[in-house]
Structure 1
Amino acid sequence: MTLDLSSRRIQTRPPLAGTDRGAASQDALTGLRVSHVVAPLKAALSDAKVLTGRQTPLVQFDLLVVEAQSETGATGMGYSYTLRAGGPGMFSLACEIAPRILGEDPNDIGRLWEKLRWQVNSLGRGGMAFQTIAAFDTALWDMKARRAGLPLTKLLGAHRDHVRIYNSEGQYLQASIDEIKAAADRSLALGMGGIKLKVGQPDGQEDLRRIDALRTHLPDDVAMMVDANQQWDRTYALQFGRIVDELGLAFIEEPLDALDFEGHAMLARELATPIATGEMLTSLADAVQLMRAGGCDIAQFDAPRIGGISPFLKAMSFAEELRVDIAPHWMMELQVHLAAAYLQEPWVEHFFSLEPVFNERLEIANGRVAVPSRPGLGLSLSDAARDWTVSRSAFGEISRL
């Protein structure tokens, strides 16, 4: 039997996305420059995964930098990163997708994020694909805030002009107790409000000795956190957490595998010490799943890893609804803008090794970091970062970059 469709009509229309430019379009991207920067660390860093042989010591970090300009003269810069591996791959992917947004209105950030996402859809929804998109997304947000003459956090809607800050760099596992104390003293002299200690030693008693030594050394009004870097199983993490519960730690970070949402939720229910995790997640979907499971008291989502500022803002809105605190991971020059736009009092993580990449420095005092007053992210690449650039490609007209 032949079906007669002549008198049948579909009553609804399929959703349209990525439609042609209309009267509301006011600008167009005319140039993009993509750079791969390999920034060395002054000293190798080792966490729990290094001691178990799963990772090598961290000796450098790779940045993917995207600089953009438009036909009206607006410019913006964004970046993403990877540790230990993947830098050349991110650079190659960025060069492949960059030409596909030339000519687009840079104000249409959400639409361009979706366009780039569908270019890399075969690579999966997350991982390196989204981390590469993050550099473009951040450059567009930087451009929009610069065009408005506002710091990014003011464009987003700030709740505060300064944020609590803690340092993580001097207390890795390769450091002795004396070195940990000395590094903490240097951080406190610079105005840090908290110190985070790496844990996850093969001998748990050594972790406890180091925790006791640092907590005794620090003033009572200085926060202390510990970070296990996904080292433990549920049974060990619960036992360890109960032992340190009475110390008043600000949080225990990544006690379990990053994707063990249910296990982190169990610890959050059982322990008085807040559970912090989320830095390794690379998509909004995973971030939402973690929070729905009750898997964190403190969400540590990382804007470059999660796909950029656009998905981070969506994760932040979900966290606000659930009254989850946030302490964004790494990249403090970017994360301070996002943390300052969060309803509840956040933390920002500080690393000295990130500072040489940019000309500007964050202002830190009395345990807090000030949000920069410069437009956009308020950042420019340093001469050192230009010297550390191992690959660079340009697309379109870049005369103003």
Structure 2
Amino acid sequence: MTTIERLETRTQRVRLTRPWGPSHAAPGKWVAEPVEASGPSTGSATQYPGAVDSVTVIATRVTRSDGAQGFGFSWTPQIGASAVQALLDDDIAPAAIGRSATPGEAWDDIWAHLHEAGGGGITTIALAGLDLALWDAEARAASASVSQIIGRRRESARAYGSGVNLHYSQDELVAQVRRWVDAGFDAVKIKVGKPDVAEDLDRLAAVRDVLGPDRALMIDANQRWTLDRATDAVNALAVHDLAWIEEPLRADDLAGHAELARRIEVPIAVGENLHTRHRFEDFLHAGAAQIVQPNIIRVGGITPFLRIAAAAADLGAAVHPHLLPELSGQLALTLPGDPWTEDVEDAGFATLGALADPSPVTIADGRLTENAHAGLGIRFTAFERDDS
């Protein structure tokens, strides 16, 4: 049996070109900058309250007993990077060494080992760093991509334009949507949740005018509303023919989402802040969501993501992976149905210069395709700097 021999981590801050929130700083290309494990995380924005000007990646490298290596990562935009790295170094690595290196075989036992610190959240985010590296090593050893060893169902997947744009002026928002239309996207998602729903209505009217009647429009409230506010807002905004409303309420409010689903006709999408297959199944069985959007890192990696996708398919829900198109786009090629990949403007790791190799995927004319590569093709420069 091939076993896990070593697990290493490196923390890397990735500067965003477009801050996620209002900022006084001019956007610009980031410079690779490691974060010392012993010091405080610098992944959170400091320029302006609510702004995010960088995200933090915990890059991982696993070495197997047969000498094969694989690269993965854990990811947290603002909070908890040092805690994630500590879990990987202090708890996951010792528990993993000597276990099977076959992807998925050790996942349940290590997840159970971490339960004292929580069944999901920071524990599953950390566990993704090991899981992705094991899948990468398995595919690299076979001189194949991860999508090939899972089983590709299609050669391309639909992508939609997305952005963190609630703080944009209406003119800036419209300009962004025009860029997406010009780039060939036939679906876009924008943020909603202004203090006055009339402003959201005006912004959606302007966006729909650019999109025309045939392109899909999704909205994301990022957990901003109460149940009654969400009811009123979604029913008002539905005039603009919405494909879904994303995270209208606090992500852990199962009863609230179930009640909201009874009050509105727009499909509800949740999942970027759910962490286990059990929680996804809770929402689907309760009729609280019609669309699920698991974030592959937050659920613990590819192994649990595939289980969640299979459970959702069995229950008749659509699966559209959340964020991280270089990763989620590859898995979208393996899923049943018609999964969409989210492409946040100017936020891809390859676009930001964070990867040691070219991007494993290309998004053009609203479709994602996979470029030739082995494994996941996602190797961060943190290890390249360390090995040079």
TM-score for the superposition, normalised by structure 1: 0.82
- Which of the numbers 30, 35, 49 marks the counterpart of 2:5? 30
Select 2:99's aligned residue among 96, 104, 121: 104
Question: What is aligned with 2:52?
Answer: 58
Task: Give me the whole-angstrom Cα distance separating, in 2, the residues matched to 1:219 and 1:376.
Answer: 40
Q: How does 1:159-178 map to 2 (within 5 A)?
A: 159-169=153-163, 172-178=165-171
Partners of 1:268 and 1:149 lie apart in 2 by 46
Q: Is 1:283 paired with 2:276? A: yes
CA shift digits 1:9-54 (9 cap, x unpaired): xxxxxxxxxxxxxxxx1x233333211111122232239xxxxxxx
Find the counterpart in structure 2 of residue 135 from structure 1. 129
1:167–1:187 contact (8 Å) kept in structure 2? yes
When residues 150 and 193 of structure 1 are mapped into structure 2, their CA distance, relative to the original with a 3 A threshold, is farther
Deviates more, 1:269-278 or 1:326-335: 269-278
Matched residue, 2:85: 91
Contact 2:204 2:240 in 1 (8 A): no
Q: 2: CA distance between counterparts of 1:323 and 1:360? A: 36
Q: CA deviation at 1:118?
A: 3.3
Q: Gaps (5+ residues) in structure 2? A: 23-48
Provide the C-alpha distance between the structure 1 equivalents of 2:119 and 2:205, rounded to a whole number of angstroms. Answer: 42
Offset of 1:115 from its aligned partner? Answer: 3.2
Q: Pick from 316, 330, 343: which aligns with 1:337?
A: 330
2:114 to 120, 128, 152: 120
Q: Secondary structure at the match of 1:144?
A: helix
User: What's 2:309 paired with?
Assistant: 316
Contact preservation (8 Å) 2:6, 2:93? no
Tell me by how many angstroms 1:386 deviates: 6.0
The ranges of structure 1 where at least 4 consecutive aligned residues each deviate by more than 4 angstroms after the TM superposition are none
Once the two structures are superposed, what CA deviation does each residue of 1:39-88 show, in whole Å capped at 9, x if it has no partner?
A: 122232239xxxxxxx7322211111111122333221111211221011
Alignment of 1:324-363 (within 5 A): 324-351=317-344, 352-355=346-349, 356=352, 357-358=354-355, 359-361=357-359, 362-363=361-362
**Displacement of 1:341:** 1.8
**Structure 2 counterpart of 1:378:** 377
Q: Would you say the 8 A contact 2:269–2:290 is kept in 1? A: yes
1:19 matched residue in structure 2: none
1:255 paired residue among 242, 245, 248? 248
Q: For residue 271 of structure 1, report the CA deviation from its aligned partner.
A: 2.9
Alignment partner of 1:75 is 2:74: no
Q: Tell me how far apart the structure 1 counterparts of residues 280 and 169 of structure 2 sit (CA, whole Å).
A: 35
| Paired residue secondary structure (2:298) | helix
Are the counterparts in 2 of residues 41 and 59 from structure 1 also a CA contact under 8 Å? yes
Distance 1:264 1:158 in 2: 33
Aligned residue identity for 1:348: T
Number of residue pairs aligned between Structure 1 and Structure 2: 355
Could you say which residue in structure 2 is the equivalent of 1:18?
Answer: none
* Superposed displacement of residue 186, structure 1: 2.4
Q: Which amino acid aligns with 1:82?
A: T
Gap runs ≥5 in structure 1: 1-24, 48-54, 393-398
Aligned pair in 2 of structure 1 residues 386, 231: CA closer, same or farther (>3 Å)? same
The answer to whether the Cα contact below 8 Å between 1:152 and 1:376 also exists between their aligned partners in 2 is yes
How far, CA to CA, are the matches of 2:326 and 2:229 in structure 1? 35
- Using the alignment, how far apart are the partners of 1:368 and 1:248 within structure 2? 22
Does the aligned pair in 1 maintain the 2:11–2:59 contact within 8 Å?
yes
User: In the alignment, does 2:15 pair up with 1:40?
Assistant: yes
Distance 1:370 1:192 in 2: 14
Instruction: Assess if the C-alpha contact under 8 Å between 1:37 and 1:386 holds in 2.
Output: no
| Cα distance in structure 2, aligned partners of 1:75 and 1:386 | 12
* Structure with bigger RCO (C-alpha 8 Å, 6+ apart): 1
Per the alignment, residue 22 of structure 1 pairs with none
Contact 1:193 1:368 in 2 (8 A): no
- The one-letter code of the counterpart of 1:57 is A
Structure 2 distance, partners of 1:290, 1:80, is: 25
Q: Secondary structure at the match of 1:258?
A: coil
